[in-house]
Amino acid sequence: MTAIRDEACIVGLGETEYRRWGGFQDRSELQLTCEAIQAAAADAGLDVDDIDGVVSYAMDRNDPAFLQDAMGLPNIRFASQAWGGGGAASCASLQHAVAAVQSGAAHYVAAFRGLCQGQSARYGKFNAARRGNNFLAPFGMFSPPIMMAPMIQRYMYEYGVKQEHLGEIALNARANAHRNPRAVMRDRPLTMETYLASRLIASPLRLYDCCQENDGACAVIVTTLERARDLKARPVRILAAAHMNTPGWGAGPVGTHNMPIEDYGAGNCASVAREVFGRAGVTPKDIDVAQIYDHFSGLVLMSLENFGFCGRGEAGDFVADGHIRWEGGDLPINTSGGHLSEAYMHGFNLILEGARQIRGESTSQVEGAEICLVTGGSGAPAPSAAILGV
């Protein structure tokens, strides 16, 4: 068992402004990433020179060598990138950072995501030149909403989930975004009537069921609890982080749709849920607040079931009864607005919001929050999850 002094924690949070896809023309993706890392170091009370490790995930374009040169870092003693599609590995980056600081490979690790897709190719966007093990494009399944829609449709059919249940996920995110000055959608009200009248993207997914496309960057600094005692920021303990793929899932809906039929409408998070709760030594009943990866609303419902907050097929009624709402709910989720209404930083802004909840700094603060679940991806290959605590 890890000694308390070697326990890993988040000590700094940093982010840039979030803008719509293509909103940054004055700064590059690398510049935005450097800004977020510098802000995280300042939040922790560290000099940027103290950073000696960098971690990201899933084909991040911010090469450690470029980061080192751009920021003038004297030493990069550890660098890694977690595998997995899109933001599925977001929390896996924390797992890598934890391993680095606990092993002594690095002392202060910056984990980050930087996106400026308006200046580059979009992950998941159709590109006729793409090659690889993809059997979906010939059938017109060339974007994530189309890929995920059949799985969500199957889930809704099996359990009687209604369109309004998906709408509750979108409305909850938008309500929380109204309190968050960082949220791209903070000044855009959303009603159930507007949601139901919005255009179909890929049935059953409507416009507001799909995450935004955004540019920006965010970062955290990870170190040991012993080192954190000398810093200015309140440390947020990383109780556990995990990264797993369900056996037989393969690439799932983003590759072949040949998952086991019993798992097809489940979302591929049950294995990582068992692992992260087991490592942290807590249960779903111990979670005060959660940041659930919300690239598509239907997959949030599956995640609520996979992580044990309600039974299989019960998530629709669970959200309809107000359990996930900030006011009156016993499991407030996506308190910054999430991907649907704050920004889509491939999961990493959810990590920052989880840390803010533990610090007591959220714009939708859950009173007395001591344990927060953060999930990375659902439906995609190899999702991840982390549990943060006081």
- Identify whether residues 287 and 146 lie together within a single domain: yes
Catalytic positions are: 293, 344
Token digits of residue 172: 């909850």
pLDDT at position 141: 81
Domain CATH for 284: 3.40.47.10
CA distance 215 to 29: 8
Q: Evaluate whether residue 126 is within a structural domain.
A: no
Q: CB of 347 within 8 A of CB of 87?
A: yes
Parent domain of 222 = 4-120+215-236
CA distance 300 to 280: 22
User: Is the predicted pLDDT of residue 206 greater than 50, yes or no?
Assistant: yes
Sign of the Cα torsion 273, 346, 223, 236 reads: negative
Q: CB of 332 within 8 A of CB of 366?
A: yes
pTM over 0.85? The answer is yes
Give the model confidence (pLDDT) of 223-242 as tens digits: 999 999 989 889 999 999 99
CA distance 219 to 203: 35
pLDDT at position 129: 46
Q: CB of 58 within 8 A of CB of 83?
A: yes
Q: Evaluate whether residue 127 is within a structural domain.
A: no
pLDDT at position 125: 53
Q: Tell me phi and psi for residue 210, to 5 degrees.
A: -105, 140
- Identify whether residues 373 and 314 lie together within a single domain: yes
Average pLDDT, the chain: 93
pLDDT at position 265: 86
Helix (H, G, I), strand (E, B) or coil at 357: helix
Angle between helices 90-103 and 348-359 (to 10 degrees): 60
Q: CB of 216 within 8 A of CB of 341?
A: no
- Average pLDDT of span 250-263: 87
> How buried is 131 (Cβ within 10 angstroms: 0-12 exposed, 13-18 middle, 19+ buried)?
exposed
Q: How confident is the model at residue 108 (pLDDT cuts 50, 70, 90)?
A: very high
CA distance 321 to 308: 17
Token digits of residue 39: 């802000």
pLDDT at position 127: 52
Question: What's the structural domain count of the chain?
Answer: 2
- Identify whether residues 328 and 372 lie together within a single domain: yes
Winning range, highest mean pLDDT, from 1-10, 137-146, 269-278: 269-278
- Identify whether residues 223 and 297 lie together within a single domain: no
- Identify whether residues 116 and 250 lie together within a single domain: no
DSSP state of 234: P
- Average pLDDT of span 202-209: 98
Give the model confidence (pLDDT) of 326-371 as tens digits: 999 999 999 999 999 999 999 999 999 999 999 999 999 999 999 9
Bond prior to 204 in cis (omega within 30° of 0): yes
- Identify whether residues 66 and 179 lie together within a single domain: no
Give the model confidence (pLDDT) of 149-176 as tens digits: 999 999 999 999 999 999 999 999 999 9
CA distance 229 to 227: 5
Smallest Cα–Cα separation from 286: which of 378, 356, 373? 373
